């Protein structure tokens, strides 16, 4: 059971399994602070069952709920998931509408529970193509959960990393042109804090489900030294146990950040 390998997060609820072990296999020093997930494979999951793509997305939403809760219990600081890319507008209207309605009802139904579980919700991506109603719900959810101290849950909606980087470049260029910042003051930290993920640590563990081996324009700057974990599991079948397995795998990686390992 995945709970057995973690010391538990700040808000670990009391579970049926009794107290968590005092000595855990994964300790704070080997725990990823920021986990990013490309939730791929809803369509393939549904197809394998002879079901509609919509049913796959609905199952994906249920998985997301379980994974956010597990991430919070495990003590992950930041969880960023890719829900809708700037390129996903190319999908058939029917599927786009279905996904946007699903996000809207997810927010409506789940926000109270997420809030009660201390989750801090934040949206990353462009906000210029959503309906007023959805924008309002997004902002309301962000304001309501802003002071929560549990997992920081970033939902990437209408997000593309290249678009995010360009928006940051334009904003810094405008500030430089206005004399508010000197070009030589723009360093990695300033740039990171101009992105939608401002204030978050860089991605430590980047997970992609459903077998494809690519980054798909997700968190390219933030993942400069991320460890990559690919699994064939379709997103609806992804479990807290598999998240725990990815974290255990991460804990065994030798991260050198361009330097040498301690023994060397």
Site of interaction with ligand FPP (CB under 6 A):
39-44, 57, 60-61, 64, 83, 88, 99, 102-103, 106, 155, 210, 235
DSSP string over 2-56:
GGGGB---TTPPP-TT-SPPSS-SB-GGGS-SEEEEE---HHHHHHHTT--HHHH
**Which is nearer to ligand FPP, 102 or 181 (by Cβ)?**
102
Contact between residue 56 and residue 42 where contact means Cβ atoms under 8 Å apart: yes
**Which is nearer to ligand FPP, 121 or 172 (by Cβ)?**
121
Contact between residue 125 and residue 157 where contact means Cβ atoms under 8 Å apart: yes
**From 40, 196, 200, 204, the catalytic residue:** 40
**From 51, 88, 104, 163, the catalytic residue:** 88
40 is catalytic: yes
88 is catalytic: yes
Q: What residue number has its CB nearest to ligand FPP?
A: 43
Closest CB 17 distance from ligand FPP, rounded Å: 28
Closest CB 91 distance from ligand FPP, rounded Å: 8
**Which is nearer to ligand FPP, 107 or 195 (by Cβ)?**
107
Rounded Cα–Cα distance for residues 51 and 53 (Å): 7
Structure tokens at 36: 């990013």
Report helix, strand or coil for 221: coil
End-to-end CA distance of the chain: 36
Q: Please report where in the chains the tokens 């079901």 appear, as a residue.
A: 51
**Which is nearer to ligand FPP, 102 or 176 (by Cβ)?**
102
Q: Can you say whether the dihedral through the CA atoms of 119, 159, 229, 64 is positive or negative? A: positive
Rounded Cα–Cα distance for residues 163 and 241 (Å): 34
**Which is nearer to ligand FPP, 103 or 206 (by Cβ)?**
103
Give 207's DSSP letter: E
Supply the residues annotated as catalytic: 40, 88
């Amino acid at each position: 059971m995945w709970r057995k390998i973690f010391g538990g997060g700040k808000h670990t609820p009391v579970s049926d399994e009794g107290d968590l072990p005092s000595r855990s296999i994964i300790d704070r020093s080997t725990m990823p602070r920021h986990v990013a997930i490309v939730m791929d494979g809803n369509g393939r999951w549904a197809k394998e069952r002879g079901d509609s793509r919509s049913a796959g997305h609905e199952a994906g939403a249920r998985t997301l709920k379980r994974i956010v809760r597990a991430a919070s219990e495990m003590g992950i600081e930041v969880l960023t998931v890719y829900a809708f890319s700037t390129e996903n507008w190319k999908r058939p209207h029917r599927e786009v509408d279905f996904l946007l309605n699903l996000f809207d009802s997810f927010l409506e139904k789940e926000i109270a529970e997420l809030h009660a579980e201390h989750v801090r919700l934040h949206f990353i991506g462009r906000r210029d193509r959503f309906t007023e109603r959805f924008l309002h719900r997004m902002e309301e959810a962000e304001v309501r959960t802003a002071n929560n101290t549990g997992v920081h849950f970033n939902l990437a909606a209408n997000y593309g990393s290249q678009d995010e980087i360009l928006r940051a470049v334009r904003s810094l260029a405008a500030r430089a042109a206005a004399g508010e910042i000197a070009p030589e003051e723009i360093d990695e930290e300033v740039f990171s804090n101009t992105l939608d993920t401002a204030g978050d640590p860089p991605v430590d563990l980047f997970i992609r489900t459903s077998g494809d081996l690519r980054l798909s324009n997700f968190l390219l700057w933030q993942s400069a030294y991320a460890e990559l974990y690919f699994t064939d599991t379709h997103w609806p079948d992804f479990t807290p146990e598999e998240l725990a397995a990815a974290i255990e795998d991460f804990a065994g990686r030798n991260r050198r950040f361009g330097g040498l390992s301690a023994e060397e």
